[in-house]
Amino acid sequence: MADTPTDRERTDVEEAIMEATYRALREQGYADLTMRAIAEEYGKTTAAIHYHYDTKDDLLVAFLEYLLDTFLDHVHDAATDDPESHLGALLDGLLIEREDDYDLVCALLEMRAQAPYHDAIREQLVRNDEYLREVVRSVVADGVERGVFRDDVDPDTVASALITIVKGARTRFVVLADPSVLHVARDTADAYVQGVLDA
């Protein structure tokens, strides 16, 4: 497992601002998001937010870190000792469980699309991508070590492949607004895993 750069305690105030950001992003999308909208969700002034986060980009970087932490806590709770079902639970979390969060998936795609123009956001998105890949990689490597998966597979390659399928599904979900693309991707991931991993 990689270091857990995101594994830090948030104060109650930071937690409340993250939750307000979540609601504001879902309602406004990213392009139209203002500190004022976040402050309104938070129930305080924009100054109260600026006290913790200098700029909107700083706040959004913290929010991306918060989303990663939330997801990691969730998969940690869902982890099983069996590599195959652990991998399945991860893929469910990354795909199927996003079905009811269309507005957030849209806001996150907007952020990804703006990455080339916002260095700090790009850096955090790259860290999130790396971290997720590492989580998937370690489950695959564990399965290879224990003989559940074939020993000639490269866990790094498998992890990148699965993250590619996840990102593609979410991009198509935004454009097509049809949750069935998440299920198609879940089946694609299973077919890929069966093809390359089954011992």
**Can you read off the two tokens belonging to residue 112?**
């990804």
Which one of 11, 77, 116, 152 is in contact with its own copies (CB under 8 A)?
116
d(CA 20, CA 18): 5
Q: Interaction with its own copies in 23-82: which residues (CB under 8 A)? A: 29-31
d(CA 82, CA 156): 19
**Can you read off the two tokens belonging to residue 11?**
């104060």
d(CA 118, CA 171): 20
CB of 117 to its own copies, least distance (A): 7
Which one of 97, 118, 122, 148 is in contact with its own copies (CB under 8 A)?
122
Cα→Cα distances 142→55, 133, 139, 169, Å: 41, 14, 5, 26
Which one of 19, 79, 172, 179 is in contact with its own copies (CB under 8 A)?
172
Site string for its own copies, 126-165 (x = CB under 8 A): x--x---------------------------x--xx-xxx
Sites of contact with its own copies (CB under 8 A): 29-31, 106, 109-110, 112-117, 122, 125-126, 129, 157, 160-161, 163-172, 174-177, 181, 184-185, 187-188, 191-192, 194-196
